[in-house]
């Protein structure tokens, strides 16, 4: 059965998986709230670490409010715990893809992508403000021999709500071969990161792909919030395999 959302046996490439895992490891993590103390232990509050730099941390309280505080204002035990989280290649807790988080604005997304070791721009960075972000970045490593481009969607407040990782344009002649292999590698990669999918189906039939259609085959729930949907799509004579990371919690398709 094929999943049809609104909108959009082979082992994974070990080189790609080795490259990608440090950046996507946080897809399997769920930021856990903890009790924080002030430097003198007079005040405590509960919240989760969002980001940190050399001098400050950003924390989200359990009421949803985020604030930034100097590390020196926190208890030594908290500072020691923070230091233990500062592994050099890992993005912040709550990230969805690389260091991107649902809720980031366009400027934050652009800045993070330009600093990324996972993706690279397809155009000179000076043109990004003019042409936008969609299709302007691709993965440095290939999946199944294909590069993947990044596309984005935003909510009514201009905040990031979807990240789409989509292969470069492929002709109809690759659908049963190279594109199928990439789809299989994407399944293996997402299963490595998230466990078995909530729902899985056979490789979508090319004949079922109308122009502009996306046919989902596999669905995962992200522990950081939202869903990951894998499938294939068609745009005119171009065919793609892709992963849609969305803040929406997509429900599995139920059958009688």
Please tell me the distance from the alpha carbon of residue 65 to that of residue 153, in angstroms, as a whole number.
24
pLDDT category at 92 given cuts 50, 70, 90 is: low
Q: Which two tokens stand for residue 92?
A: 């912040």
pLDDT at 8 over 50: no
Strand order in the sheet with 56-61: 34-37, 44-52, 56-61, 66-70
**Can you give the pLDDT at residue 256?**
54
Per-residue pLDDT, averaged over 92-111, amounts to 86
- CATH number of the structural domain 31-85: 2.30.30.700
Res 196 pLDDT > 80: yes
CB 41 within 8 A of CB 74: no
The pLDDT of residue 9 is 35
| Segment of 39-43, 94-98, 104-108, 230-234 carrying the highest mean pLDDT | 230-234
| Least-confidence region, from 32-41, 173-182, 212-221, 231-240 | 32-41
Given this model, what pLDDT does residue 117 score?
82
Mean pLDDT of 206-232: 93
Residues of the chain with CATH 2.30.30.700: 31-85
Distance CA 29, CA 96 (A): 10
């Amino acid at each position: 059965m094929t999943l049809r959302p609104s909108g959009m046996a082979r082992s994974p490439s070990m080189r790609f998986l080795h490259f990608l895992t440090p950046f996507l490891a946080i897809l399997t993590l769920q930021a856990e709230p903890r009790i924080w103390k002030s430097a003198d232990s007079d005040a405590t509050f509960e919240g989760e670490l969002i980001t940190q730099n050399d001098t400050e941390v950003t924390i989200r309280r359990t009421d949803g409010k985020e604030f930034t505080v100097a590390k020196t204002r926190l208890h030594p035990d908290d500072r020691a715990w923070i230091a233990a989280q500062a592994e050099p290649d890992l993005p912040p807790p709550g990230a969805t893809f690389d260091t991107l988080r649902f809720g980031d604005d366009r400027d934050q997304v652009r800045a993070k992508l330009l600093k990324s070791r996972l993706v690279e721009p397809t155009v000179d960075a000076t043109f990004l403000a003019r042409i936008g972000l969609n299709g302007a970045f691709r993965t440095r490593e290939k999946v199944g021999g294909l590069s993947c481009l990044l596309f984005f969607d935003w909510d009514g407040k201009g905040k990031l709500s979807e990240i789409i990782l989509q292969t470069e344009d492929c002709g109809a002649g690759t659908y049963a071969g190279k594109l199928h292999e990439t789809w299989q590698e994407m399944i293996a990669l997402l299963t490595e990161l998230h466990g078995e999918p909530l729902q899985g189906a056979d490789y979508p039939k090319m004949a079922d792909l109308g122009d502009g259609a996306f046919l989902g085959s596999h669905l995962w729930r992200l522990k950081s919030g939202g869903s990951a949907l894998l499938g294939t799509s068609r745009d005119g004579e171009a065919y793609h395999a892709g992963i849609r990371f969305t803040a929406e919690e997509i429900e599995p398709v139920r059958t009688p």
